[in-house]
Each structure stands twice: as structure tokens, then as C-alpha cells.
A and B are shown apart, each in its own frame.
Chain A
Amino acid sequence: MAKSSEARKEGEKLPAPTRMTVTLHVNGAAKKLNLAPWTTLLDALRIHIGLTGTKKGCDHGQCGACTVLVDGRRINSCLTLAVMKDGAQITTIEGLAKDGTLHPVQQAFIDHDAFQCGYCTPGQICSAVGLIGEARAHSAEEIRELMSGNICRCGAYPNIVAAIEQAMSRKPASRPKAEHE
């Protein structure tokens, strides 16, 4: 809730970087961190915990590459302060596979070749897991609209939608043959 008119005056001393203790439950493991309050959840995950699967794309909430699940809800981790998520359960792309088996959404992305460069993929997959949990999408059209917070500059959208349809229908993962095969 911004009120910029009361901004700090030019030349005024910045507050000392008071660190705060935060516990994030990341992919089931408690991580106790000592963070400056302006550390975003994205930077906490990538820099302080070393989980670099979550990507920094625009860093302004405009691309969705940083999407993670916080207490089961998909959010943009670049616009979230880590200190505000003290005690929260956080799931990143690294936490989706279980016992060596890929999450159905991960498998579906492979089955449908739902990426090219792969940079947006962790965010796309976490967003899709959130979408399926929300249970608001029942058609390809609804998937497209409710995945619109994840930009893919390679343009893999048709295959992303197909992958999510597969994961939603829980059809057994089978790789469709490409035309040249």
C-alpha cells in the first residue's frame, strides 16, 4: 500500500541492514535464514538457499518465471519479501518429484515437448500445479486464460496447454509421436 509522498528525504541516512531470522519450510525441509528484510523470496531461494530452479525473469511480476507455491497457492516470488513468509510451506520446482518419479505435470511437459529454451519452464510447471489445485480450469480455453501469468517467449504455448490437459485428465503419460517419426 504505497504512499510515496512521505518518501525518505535525499541524503537522509539509510537504516542499518538489520537482519531478521526467518524459517522457511522449503520442499519439506525447514530452512532457518538470517535475512535483510528487503530480500525477496526469490532471492532467498536462489541465493541464500541455493535452489536455482526458480528463475528470475523480469523481477517485476510481469513474466511468471519466479512462480512458486506458498502454502499451496501459486505466487510471484519476486514480489514477495521472504520475511513476510516466516513459517510458510514453500514448494519450488525442485520439490515436485517424489522418490525419483517426476510430478505428473513435469512428465506431461516432457511428453508434450512443452518448452524450447526452458527458462520459463519451472515457473510454468509450478503455475500449472497451482492451477490444477485451484480446480477452476476445465477446458483448453480456461487453461490458456488461467496460465496467462506465465510468459513463454519461445512460444511453446500450444504444447504447454496440451501438457496441462494431460496432467489434469490424469491420463497415463505416453509420448505422442511427432509428425516426422
Chain B
Amino acid sequence: MNNFEFTRATDVADAVRQIAADPGATFVAGGTNLIDLIKEGVTKPSRLIDITRLQLNHVEDTSDGGLRIGALVPNSDLAYHPEIDKRYPLLASAILAGASPQLRNMATTGGNLLQRTRCFYFYDTTTPCNKREPGNGCSAIDGLNRMHAILGASEHCIATHPSDMCVALAALEARVLAAGRDGERSIAFADFHRLPGDTPHIDTNLNKDEIITAVELPPNGFAKNYSYLKIRDRLSYAFALVSVAAALEIENGVIRQARLALGGVAHKPWRDRRAEAQLSGTPATRESFMGAAQTLLSDARGFGHNDFKIELARRAIVRALSQAASATPQSQIEKRVR
């Protein structure tokens, strides 16, 4: 591993002060992605600022009836939290679809948002990668791109965001709270992650000297009609080829409100409001779901090896919406897709 200095932050203000003082510094919490990136020489921080002792590990009610999740709440604690299990089962399901129990014990809520793509060219420092070294090219576009994006990609980068948790947070319209030198601000989840454009090295709209303090969930958790369906090469402990977070409000067989977000297909969790709007007011039937999938994938484009993802995504969307409508969410234990 490359050498780095190591310091601890005592509170949020101290963390912000320390990160602002050293442009090469980065925060470390769970470390599940960062330590690996440092080992591979992909990330070379001058200093790690350990934030694990900050008091950001609580799950609390918000005044509007939602929940505030501290940035340091471990993924496993969050997935099994009784309020998440009861009110936001889509989020619990998505978290349990990702990584392994050991990694979920380590990984934090804030860190999950900031994990980087698992594009193998990004990790392989012997190949060009615009995300790793801006301007030196993308190896994936004409390379092995089976895992790569079919939506929102650019000529500079076709990497995908690897998180499952973030797909559910996008569907649930979570907000990200961030503290910086000018105080705290709240960022809509849709505005947190970025599309690659011509700056694929910048994953999020978080400023350099900001720290995520919490993620807030609005009151509606769509706890009755939801499903998180993840399709991958093996049934556990693998990143998504395609995943779908589907959430519906249904009255007398008619969809009143729909949420639809995809993972594994784009540089950010891919939520499509056109497809959601199209579902609203229609009967909760396969025909409606097919129409929404058609809309969501109308601009989808493959790069060769990942062409199959377009049809896979279409089927996964229809299946996840069907599971949500029938209140039979995908089990993350018994993986048979029904």
C-alpha cells in the first residue's frame, strides 16, 4: 500500500477542518472500498482522516414522520433496524442483496453512497481510464463491457454505480445531509450522484470539503407494495447486472403512485420519472408494466458485450413491478424469481 498519514477526527467540525486543510486527504469509515482502492494504487490519498468516532451512528425519527439515518450506521444494522424493516422494507431488502455479512458489518451508510465503480479498467492501473486519470481514454467502450452501462453513458465513461442500497434510496426519494465550512445542506438523492459526461472522475456533487452526516427518508416507505429484484452472475456476493427497485401505491387495482429505479445500468442509480408518471392512474397489470419498461429503456444503448442487459432490464422491470403489485417481494434468501 502507498504510504499515507493517519489522523482521527473528534467531531464533524474537526473533520471538515481537517479535510479542508489537506487537498490530498480523504475520510475513512468502513474502508471496504477505500482500503482496496489504496492497495490497488487507484486512489493515493496523502492522509486518511478516521471519522469512525464521530457520533453519527443513530437512526432517529424526523419531525415530518420520516427517518434520519446517521452516516456511520453500518449497512447490517440499518438493514435489520426494526423501523427500516417495518416502514422501509425496500431499503432493507436492497441492502441485504448487496455484498456479504462481513462487508455489511463494516460498510457505513455514507460510505455506501461514495463507493466507486467496480469497472475492471478503473481498477487496472495499466490500462487507460478517464475516471482514474482524466483525459487518457476509456478502455471499456471497445473492451470487455459486459458489466457496463446501457443508460446515461458518455463517450468518456460507461462505468456503472455498484450500490444496491442507493437504488432503493433513489426510489424512496431520500435526501443526503452534508456538512461543510458553510454549515449543513440537504441534497436530493437524484442530485447527489452524477452522470459521467466529460468529467467521469467526479462521481458525486459532494464538495471536497464536505462530509455526509446523514441520509433522510421521507415518511412514505411504500411498505405494502415493493420489490427489490437483483439479477447477477451468481446468486450471492456479486454486483448487479441489472437490479430494480419497484414501489407502488395501489387503490382498487389502479396505481396511484409509482417509483422505479434501476441499478447496474448507469453511472448513478437510474430513476425514471417519465416511466413513473406513465404508470400513475393505470391498472396494475402486466401491460402497464411493459409500457413503463419500454419508456424507461427507450434511450438504452449497448456497447457489445452488454447488449443483453437491455432485454434483461426490460424483463426485470416487469417482474419487479409484478412482484410489487402482488405484494410478494423478491426474497433475498430464497433467490428463485417468481
Contacts and interface: CB of A to CB of B under 8 A. Distances in A.
Given A6-B208, A84-B31, A84-B52, A38 B4 contact: yes
Given A37-B4, A38-B3, A145-B333, A2 B202 contact: no
Contacts of A146: 101
Interface string B93-124: 00000011111011000110011100000000
A75 B105 contact: yes
B27 A20 contact: no
Interface stretch (B34-42, B241-249, B275-283): B34-42
A172 B30 CA distance: 38
Nearest to B36: A60
Interface stretch (B43-51, B182-190, B301-309): B43-51
B106 A76 contact: yes
Band of interface residues on A: 35 or more
Nearest to A145: B333
Contacts of B35: 40, 79-81
Describe B's contact surface by its main secondary structure: loop
Contacts of B202: 5
Contact of B114 (A1, A6, A17, A81): A1
B46 to A, nearest CB: 5
Contacts of B212: 1
A7 B45 contact: yes
B1 interface: yes
Interface string A46-79: 0000000000000111001001000001111001
A85 to B, nearest CB: 9
B202 to A, nearest CB: 7
Contacts of A60: 36, 39
Contacts of B132: 4
Contacts of B2: 8, 14, 38
A146 B105 CA distance: 12
Given A38-B3, A61-B103, A64-B102, A4 B236 contact: no
B334 interface: yes
A1 B28 contact: yes
B192 interface: no
Contacts of A2: 26, 33-34, 37, 43, 114-116
Contacts of A79: 31-32, 35-36, 103, 106
A96 to B, nearest CB: 17
Contacts of B46: 8, 15
Interface residues of B, number: 56
B80 A4 contact: no
B29 interface: yes
Contacts of A24: none
Nearest to B122: A4
Contact of B44 (A4, A84, A149): A4
Contact of B1 (A38, A76, A145): A38
A149 B237 contact: yes
Contacts of A67: 102
B116 A4 contact: yes
A20 to B, nearest CB: 7
A67 to B, nearest CB: 6
Contact of B101 (A1, A3, A83, A149): A149
Interface in A107-150: 127, 130-131, 134, 136, 141-142, 145-150
A101 interface: no
A14 B45 CA distance: 10
Q: Give the interface centre of B110, B236, B333 by most chain A CB atoms within 10 Å.
A: B333
Contact of A18 (B5, B26, B48, B105): B5
B143 interface: no
Contacts of A80: 31, 35, 106
Given A15-B46, A64-B102, A3 B26 contact: yes
A61 B5 contact: no
Contacts of B100: 64, 148-150
A145 B332 contact: yes
B201 interface: yes
A46 to B, nearest CB: 15
A118 B239 CA distance: 27
Nearest 5 interchain pairs by C-beta: A149-B100, A37-B6, A148-B236, A4-B43, A7-B44
20 contacts: A1-B27, A1-B110, A2-B114, A3-B26, A3-B43, A3-B45, A6-B208, A18-B5, A37-B4, A61-B32, A75-B106, A76-B103, A79-B31, A79-B35, A81-B6, A145-B333, A146-B101, A147-B101, A148-B101, A149-B99
